[in-house]
Chains A and B, each alone.
Chain A
């Protein structure tokens, strides 16, 4: 059984359809990308998968996360499956962390809730999570407020928070978009390494094809709430079929070409 199976997912806000008949599956350890421009419905798909759509939006279709129906099941069942199975890393680490809570406490919260850790064991787990995202000065980071950390450090803290409970599915919603280019590469490597080390399935949401190519295998290109093309990312890049996918690939190539040209001159 797939870890996550989505079939016919549709999200509506009043009369507007924001996500339209989206289907895909994610198996244990898979790397799946949802690629699309702003407003294509990829983030809403991620929220619908965890059963946490913003108020006013309704989902229909079927979403099964570890066998639990995330649309129809009672809230108690959905909560029980969310914490141990799934975690999310968001685009903007500044709003993904509570500005008034020290980083250590934020990482501790899910550990306490999901793994039931307390006291010294909890503290050790927080520090282990920080070391895992390659933050060395764990004491200082744990005691810092989000605004005292750099963007890259904040995103590492957010990742530490997400992976601390060893989720089997990590949803990364444009995790590098708000970061400097050099930091982006580090964060991508980190996600890649952690997912491999723990066998975590990765749902990677981005609008950036080169970024996606670094970490994912199976790809679904979304446009206007629909999946317009699916397949391994290598064949999508080599032979894009849908016009939108072609535009994505072309624009990425154009950057590459510009870079080459500049280097030659």
Chain B
């Protein structure tokens, strides 16, 4: 087993631990979420595996429910960001001249716009909720995904096999389905896996600031916030959600890392091919005029 597939295995194990715990939480919880009968700020041990918080709620129960929110955010934000980002990126990839420039500028502005500020604006309009947080994170993710897809699409469009397909009269929808999507898919998938980890962190930050999941629902970010005041007397209340966050995010990042290798056909089939989409060389093919000035594109004879 090489280093990358080890990343994938460790990453998947970490993610599956969290996902498994979340699935279990739907059929079994140690205590009802709002059961405050356990006494306040109990230390770990006994009935309460991780102790209780300052309202007397079981921390392990809170942690499991926070896991639902973390996984839900990751899935929701990836769905919003993936669908919007890939669609917008495809459109932008096909755009030419001023429309292309307009897309590039708008996407750069959106990416420069802080996710937290975007979330605050949306919250100001609709009130804090998990849906708002997912929407804000998903929109921010969509801009990043769209920029990536735009570049990848332009890169694939510059390939000779697209020209060959067009000479043969293959329609654009077919070209997108059979040439463009398969070629950009793996890179986009890896990016979405990375973005999922970032989305979990973003939701935790929003909830920490009170812009995400409203009380009494436990999000890991909210748990961190609430544990802050009592961190010296009951450190587990802060450590538990913190460790859970780290496990999930590292798991998602390692999975993305491993996926990157798995989806690279040159390594998968054990032989070097030149034409696999590499982010690093996109400037060479995106703009024919650019390629001509640098003299790096052999197609421009």
Contacts and interface: CB of A to CB of B under 8 A. Distances in A.
A87 B170 CA distance: 12
Interface in B263-301: 265-266, 269, 271-276, 287-289, 292, 298-301
B299 A43 contact: yes
B2 interface: no
Given A36-B301, A98-B183, A109 B170 contact: yes
A56 B96 contact: yes
A205 B301 contact: yes
Contact of A13 (B164, B170, B266, B288): B288
Contact of A79 (B96, B164, B169, B272): B169
Given A47-B163, A145-B265, A147-B269, A56 B170 contact: no
B126 interface: no
A252 B292 CA distance: 27
Contact of B182 (A13, A50, A95, A100): A100
A110 interface: yes
B263 to A, nearest CB: 10
A110 B273 contact: no
A87 B168 contact: yes
B179 interface: yes
Interface stretch (B34-42, B115-123, B154-162, B252-260): B154-162
Contact of B161 (A42, A52, A56, A96): A96
A83 interface: yes
Given A43-B300, A80-B169, A94-B275, A101 B164 contact: no
Q: Is the interface of A mostly helix, strand, loop or mixed?
A: mixed
Nearest to A41: B301
Nearest to A13: B289
Contact of B167 (A36, A55, A82, A174): A82
A98 B274 CA distance: 12
A67 interface: no
Interface string B77-111: 00000000000000000001100100000000000
Contacts of A98: 159, 161, 178-179, 182-183
19 contacts: A14-B289, A39-B292, A44-B300, A56-B97, A82-B168, A83-B167, A87-B164, A91-B160, A92-B160, A94-B275, A95-B159, A95-B274, A98-B178, A101-B179, A114-B168, A146-B273, A147-B272, A148-B269, A162-B164
